[in-house]
């Protein structure tokens, strides 16, 4: 009997908090730009903005009437500082990431980064991790006009891979990202405990805890 070919399938990875723990670098890189605007933000307040686009973060912190040009200026300074911290201090993948990426690639899965971060940030992180060749596509801040929980970033990433949304599994650490994946009609794996309870098809504290067939099982009935 002929073996039926496996339909194309993909994994879409959030980056910050999923591939790497970059919260400290983000926290540090926001300090000076916000101080210049006369604002001091507690770490707890900062964490409520994690994973959102810079324009949404800045309007949340500094007011809805903040000019677009000022958003661009502040965000650029913050991101330049963030990339410098990554290059100087280095960064390591979260537990289970490297093994899982390799296993999925060997099994024929397509993979993309789908992040609210600028693409230059994604490139800096992947270079630091030595994973620049691990992904078939990257979707970042420049590819969308709406941030998570809007599903746009995941739909763009799936389109770049040429994979239907129903054949995609999203890996996320934040409620807004998991909600975006749900709205996109994709399966969802929630990772970590930093944001409290996560609403997903499967939730684990670490990717290292995932059983080998976790991704395939999520799409088994589709």
Residue 168: asked if its preceding bond is cis (omega within 30°), the reply is no
Each residue's pLDDT tens digit, 164-207? 999 999 999 999 999 999 999 999 999 987 766 789 999 999 99
Instruction: Check residue 3 and give its pLDDT.
Output: 44
120 by DSSP, 3-state: which?
helix
Q: Tell me the two tokens of residue 90.
A: 């280095």
Question: What is the pLDDT averaged over residues 122-149?
Answer: 95
Question: Is the model more confident about 42 or about 103?
Answer: 103
Q: Between helices 68-89 and 119-129, what is the axis angle to 10°?
A: 0
How far apart CA 47 and CA 159 sit, in angstroms, is 30
Flag whether pLDDT at 139 surpasses 50.
yes
Domains in the chain: boundaries = 10-21+92-218, 23-89
pTM of the model: 0.88
List 171's β-bridge partners, or say none: 13, 189
**Among this protein's residues, is 213 annotated catalytic?**
no
What is the largest distance, in Å, between two alpha-carbon atoms of the chain?
Answer: 71
Flag whether pLDDT at 2 surpasses 60.
no
Which of the following CATH numbers is that of domain 10-21+92-218: 3.90.79.10, 3.40.50.1000, 3.20.10.10, 3.30.56.10? 3.40.50.1000
Confidence of residue 46 (pLDDT cuts 50, 70, 90): confident
CATH 1.10.150 for domain 23-89? yes
How far apart CA 23 and CA 44 sit, in angstroms, is 12
Catalytic residue, from 14, 65, 68, 133: name it.
14
146 by DSSP, 3-state: which?
coil
How far apart CA 41 and CA 129 sit, in angstroms, is 30
Flag whether pLDDT at 78 surpasses 70.
yes
How far apart CA 45 and CA 117 sit, in angstroms, is 19
Confidence of residue 49 (pLDDT cuts 50, 70, 90): confident
Q: 10-21+92-218 with 23-89: one CATH topology?
A: no
**Among this protein's residues, is 16 annotated catalytic?**
yes
Specify burial of residue 130 (Cβ count, 10 A radius: 0-12, 13-18, 19+).
exposed
170 by DSSP, 3-state: which?
strand
Name the nearest CA neighbour of 17 among 201, 203, 180, 192: 192
Helix, strand, coil share of the chain (percent; to 5): 45, 15, 40
């Amino acid at each position: 009997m002929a073996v039926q070919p496996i339909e194309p399938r993909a994994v879409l990875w959030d980056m910050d908090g999923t591939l790497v723990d970059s919260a400290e670098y983000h926290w540090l890189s926001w300090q000076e730009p916000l101080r210049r605007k006369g604002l001091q933000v507690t770490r707890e307040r900062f964490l409520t903005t994690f994973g959102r686009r810079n324009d949404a973060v800045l309007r949340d912190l500094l007011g809805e009437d903040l000019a677009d040009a000022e958003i661009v200026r502040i965000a650029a300074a913050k991101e330049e500082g963030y990339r410098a911290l990554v290059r100087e201090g280095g960064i390591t993948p979260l537990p289970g990431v490297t093994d899982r990426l390799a296993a999925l690639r060997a099994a024929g899965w397509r993979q993309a980064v789908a992040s609210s971060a600028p693409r230059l940030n994604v490139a800096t992180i992947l270079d630091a991790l030595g994973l620049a060749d691990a992904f078939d596509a990257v979707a970042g801040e420049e590819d969308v006009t709406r941030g998570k929980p809007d599903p746009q970033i995941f739909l763009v990433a799936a389109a770049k891979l040429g994979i239907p949304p129903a054949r995609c599994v999203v890996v996320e650490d934040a409620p807004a990202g998991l909600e975006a994946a749900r709205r996109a009609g994709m399966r969802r794996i929630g990772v970590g405990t930093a944001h409290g309870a996560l609403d997903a098809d499967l939730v684990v504290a670490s990717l290292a805890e995932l059983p080998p067939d976790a991704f395939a099982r999520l799409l088994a009935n589709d």
